[in-house]
Structure 1
């Protein structure tokens, strides 16, 4: 939302000016005509290293300045006679009448929750309504009080409404919300601290934008396209025509912009349902996938979304960190992991380890091409979330109870279930039979595959303290009820076969949640052996049944996945999280790759034209960039793999039925998630991980170090942008099209440019 320089803060500026005049005349001292406001500036402090949920402590800001910000510039000027907080965060300020306050927390202040100096300036606010409400006691300036002020302005609402809304969103009593978090207890304090940590990071970022004089809005959020490209070389001239009419950001604009980075609004939770190996042409309007197509129409969608490569593993690795690092196969995560890339999470989970006698993990492996599969020291979404005090979860279906998440699942003859294959095009529930006998299928190997885990290739994810805690089970499979009979591994005491459902009910899911159906329910398919009337029978691709059993068409595996997706979506939409009217929750339905295997069917950060000279970049001490030659066979990767479905469902009141036809990729999605959870800064290219920084502006500035882009005929298509629907396709610009899509290439803009993530 655009906030003008003169935007109302719901209090009288003349009253502030009068109070400031009194303050100036009194030089900060009290007089018989003054009101003394007593309060504290509370703090939250994230402490790294937790093996469970993030540790966030309560504290105060010592040495912060408190004042009436009469000129509304987001700082305590000397003329505003600020007072300074003591070691307990307390302040007392004398003014002629109650007025809104700010806490200007500079780098000389100390956060007593961590005992550390503040690393970047921050500003918290308390509205006039809050001051009046708390004037007889302790006025608390905190991230929560500042958020109530921001929401009041963003929604043109009232203090009472937004105070209640924020309390509802985080699940605390409204009477406690704006009190001192240090005096709260139990789950209420934990909820306040979790939110305060996230908000504090946002407001600090807002002040960073203000202090360095950012233009408003962020360049990649400007309707039409990036205005910085006009007149640049090495960019597509036809798509670089947007005039830059932005002006320096104001304090109020900065606070709003921090919650809408590059036009991507903040969400509380996002669920990413990963499916396998089906291109847009296989799913869109398919009679075998009526549920998914219904969700595409009910929600929003991207109609030109591209995978990174073939087969699965490079795509999942790219989803975890915006690069496949040259990986072009499904080899185990320790393959060619030597020297500086050697595996560090020792011992490896092979069958010599206690309790893992059934482990299929091989300590060594051989590949046709020497490509390291253990990515060391590279940034990724998982580490970025943890470092910000946020959370992630990966929920995987059909795990062997007691197995290590770093190993593929194994077959277990003791686990047998009736086949629940769905006939193509039906609503589901049909079973496969011979006569009156139902097919019994034993639990096969490889239902869970490590290649389908977006964090598996990253050493610093597997070594992270929260690794075991954040990997969890996903129910809904046909073998769930029989898993308690498993003999492959020792079943841990109290083992939860469907932790996803447990977490949904309790509200303990992560900020980002990857949901990984097994290879029968994700449309991948594997061969399963079963029996019917004592006869050994084979189910190919989990659904198409052979050996004298009625053979389903090739769409059966799609229908099976379609029904599983429907169950998952319904479960999320029935949860308290989804039904909380103040929370922002999204479900993404997507596929790892398409069907095209020519290597010339991707976009948005890929290795253009399958270049043999592509290298990752590293930033030097002086801020410049240079090629990084440490990744062996890097040029083999990021080749592209056609278009696939990408649907977005949200619980917000935002527009539905929106289609965004601009070109996006897994790298674009990673950039979008970084913006959504404020894990990066558009003004700092290096804050975006790996290839998600490859915008047209970045490519143009670094073209000598990115020779694969020198021959690009369309740098808009070949570069990364956030999924914000801001780019307006010019009337004469022919949108590129994948070889696996038969629809005509689009010419000109979408009918609407509404953001697919819009919350209202």
Structure 2
């Protein structure tokens, strides 16, 4: 039990006289006692689902301590009556005190849904208004009951309002069954009394809330300072008086205090100043620096979004070409990858491939998942850079080469462990596609035609054949991670999304893709557009990467030089492929914004529009290898709080160098259906690693007080670098640790008045007209000092 819990006298509530009961509980004839009874309801995540949706079970907390928290401090004080829940989670206590009920669930309690002891201390509560609503003898204490009261306190509203709002959060199409809605669900009911889609929707929310309130309890027990260090306006308080302030003065603009119970509950939903979201869609475009797109008339949809909603103006990629950037998006380190070769390259020793055969199955949306072997078909059409030479760096059994197979945790594994979901929706995967392999050409020819939001029409003058490599694993943010590929849900979570040039009938007509068991995939059972189906069902991931194919992402592949493969002219924004990608992005954004999920005002949903990389030379920024390729950089290992430098994998020091400024825009449904501000521009320096840290905070799959909980280089804050500089030779020569460190995307750091924000002009080619004349260099403007406002692009209101 926490040290914050005081010793209390034993209660006499059984076989003694009523006078004893009244005496022990402070009762008297003028203040009659009340008997409170009910249950403490629980949810449990059970690992192992291969459908793409987690297994969740309902149960109760047995052995929890329930008490009336008269002073609202979340702590059982001396004199406050309490009772233990029985094996069925039921409690009953009699007292003259009034106020909210609190369930103190320690590690000695049992979650009957899992049959296991509770892993971490958890405090839940039910408000006095809820008790009056449900009746003193029918109180359900649960994560949902805690959430209603937290919302009341956060929004200054009433219990009835937030109870209705929480039910609305659950309403609309539900998991697994598009025909079933949960609009009438009582969010505060005992989840054990529900069934079907209604119960699943409540369990999913209960599980996520349990994670949050467990973290809130951890913060309270630990005596954290509030707000979190990296959410303090002005700068991290840990840096005051350190060598970090020599070049860039850190002046915190608000003070910290020891966290209270109420603050801990709110802080768990606003980690490092990042609000909790339900779903985020990340649309990744290709190979364009900021000013090749900003104000480019060939990309009207992207520019309308940027000018209307929120954006980062100094966002950096990690390297070149694509694969290191997607790897960094999934796990905050590119591991020295400097090519687009398949994930088996350099996979030797501790980095050897550990994939196992997949026996097939069915995804949550009904998609048939074919049998897959230990490896996809072993040829260069499916595996880029593949060599048949035994021992070669990119062969099945390499003996050397840069590691492309990364072990350990990443966004996908951490979400999975928390009972949350991550999806990658990729355009133009072959029917029956093994997501670990590139798509192959099909004998279909089609001309492209599309219309931009400004009425511009682009079209092919002839039909072009469907090329191989429209879908490439180099663009998969989970593919390089061994543990992500080993997740039971990996195959179900790599899904299809609608295309443009080639439609469903084209893909089904002549699929040459053979499944690993030697058979041919039955295309009649293939779902061409899982994304739209999932949106309609409300069955999308908490984090969703959306990856257009190489004709719809500004990249270019194949022989179609009219609207797809623009060659050199596409780099500076002159080619029709820019407009084609803009059209596709608008189609995706429109589909999301038309969904019931987006239009639900109680949901927190965001769309990120970003690019994997810029276009030119390298730079050092944002948690990267400031010392260059000979710095001696290596991944760090944290064990029991001790930080040590590991033996670097082959090629590691060639990575994390940095590569250019690129577009990063954010749209939220709260801007469309709520009160969130639009037009926020954040000019702080951020990176792919900042994005990973932000997503870990957003979905509470990390703890700022535990550096090791952040994956790879996402933990490299300025304070961390200073504390561990002996193990970080790549930062010993950094002239600007503020710039070279990682921060969450919260705009808390205030740039000092004389500080000149870095840009990377060598990556900037600029927007040019059809004659090659430069027509826009807006992104080249450097900034000195802070920008006009310090607003958070994720703000909910």
Selected match of 2:433 from 379, 386, 403: 403
The one-character-per-residue Cα deviations of 1:7-52 (angstroms, maximum 9, x if unpaired) are xxxxxxxxxxxxxxx9995435998831211110011111111112
Q: Structure 1: which 5+ runs fail to align?
A: 1-21, 434-438, 529-537, 547-551
Selected match of 1:659 from 655, 658, 681: 681
CA distance in 1, matches of 2:567, 2:273: 48
Question: Does 2:462 match 1:452?
Answer: no
CA distance in 2, matches of 1:494, 1:28: 66
Paired position in structure 1 for 2:625: 607
The one-character-per-residue Cα deviations of 1:510-551 (angstroms, maximum 9, x if unpaired) are 0000000000000001122xxxxxxxxx536725599xxxxx
Give the Å deviation of 1:400: 1.1
Question: Does 2:668 match 1:650?
Answer: yes
Question: Does 2:558 match 1:527?
Answer: yes
Give the Å deviation of 1:750: 1.3
The one-character-per-residue Cα deviations of 1:280-319 (angstroms, maximum 9, x if unpaired) are 0110001111110000011100000000000000000000
CA distance in 2, matches of 1:236, 1:60: 55
The one-character-per-residue Cα deviations of 1:256-292 (angstroms, maximum 9, x if unpaired) are 0000000000000000000000000110001111110
Bigger drift between 515-524 and 735-744 goes to 735-744
Distance 1:630 1:609, change over 3 A: closer
Structure 2 length as normaliser, TM-score? 0.86
* Alpha carbons 1:527, 1:540 under 8 Å: kept: no
* Alpha carbons 1:593, 1:643 under 8 Å: kept: yes
Which secondary structure state, in structure 1, belongs to the residue aligned with residue 311 of structure 2?
strand
Question: Does 2:509 match 1:485?
Answer: yes
* Alpha carbons 2:638, 2:708 under 8 Å: kept: no
* Alpha carbons 2:280, 2:606 under 8 Å: kept: yes
CA distance in 2, matches of 1:725, 1:364: 50
Which secondary structure state, in structure 1, belongs to the residue aligned with residue 754 of structure 2?
coil
Selected match of 1:27 from 24, 28, 45: 24
CA distance in 2, matches of 1:234, 1:687: 24
Distance 1:347 1:508, change over 3 A: closer
Give the Å deviation of 1:463: 1.3
Distance 1:41 1:364, change over 3 A: farther
* Alpha carbons 2:293, 2:573 under 8 Å: kept: no
Which secondary structure state, in structure 2, belongs to the residue aligned with residue 610 of structure 1?
coil
* Alpha carbons 2:61, 2:88 under 8 Å: kept: yes
Distance 1:60 1:426, change over 3 A: closer
Which secondary structure state, in structure 2, belongs to the residue aligned with residue 416 of structure 1?
strand
CA distance in 2, matches of 1:639, 1:354: 31
1:559-708 aligned within 5 A: 559-597=579-617, 599-600=618-619, 602-652=620-670, 653-708=675-730
Q: Structure 2: which 5+ runs fail to align?
A: 1-18, 172-181, 359-370, 395-399, 514-520, 765-776
The one-character-per-residue Cα deviations of 1:82-139 (angstroms, maximum 9, x if unpaired) are 1111111111111236532111111111111111111211111111111011125410
* Alpha carbons 1:544, 1:553 under 8 Å: kept: no
Paired position in structure 1 for 2:448: 419
CA distance in 1, matches of 2:632, 2:404: 18
Paired position in structure 1 for 2:495: 472
* Alpha carbons 1:48, 1:54 under 8 Å: kept: yes
Paired position in structure 1 for 2:362: none
Q: Alignment length, in residue pairs?
A: 715
Give the Å deviation of 1:358: 11
Structure 1 length as normaliser, TM-score? 0.90
Which secondary structure state, in structure 2, belongs to the residue aligned with residue 539 of structure 1?
coil
CA distance in 2, matches of 1:561, 1:583: 28
Paired position in structure 1 for 2:526: 495
* Alpha carbons 2:356, 2:373 under 8 Å: kept: no
The one-character-per-residue Cα deviations of 1:50-78 (angstroms, maximum 9, x if unpaired) are 11211111111111111111232212234
Selected match of 1:322 from 326, 329, 332: 332
Give the Å deviation of 1:391: 0.4
CA distance in 2, matches of 1:440, 1:352: 37
CA distance in 2, matches of 1:556, 1:25: 82
Once superposed, what is the RMSD of the aligned Cα atoms? 2.5
Paired position in structure 2 for 1:62: 62
Q: Which runs of 4+ in 1 moved over 6 A?
A: 29-32, 348-359
Bigger drift between 662-671 and 86-95 goes to 86-95
Paired position in structure 2 for 1:162: 162
Give the Å deviation of 1:611: 4.3
Paired position in structure 2 for 1:10: none
Paired position in structure 2 for 1:145: 145
CA distance in 1, matches of 2:585, 2:149: 39
Which secondary structure state, in structure 2, belongs to the residue aligned with residue 144 of structure 1?
helix
Selected match of 1:716 from 694, 714, 738: 738
CA distance in 2, matches of 1:84, 1:699: 46
Paired position in structure 2 for 1:531: none
Paired position in structure 2 for 1:504: 535
* Alpha carbons 2:43, 2:207 under 8 Å: kept: yes
Selected match of 1:205 from 200, 206, 215: 215
CA distance in 1, matches of 2:590, 2:353: 40
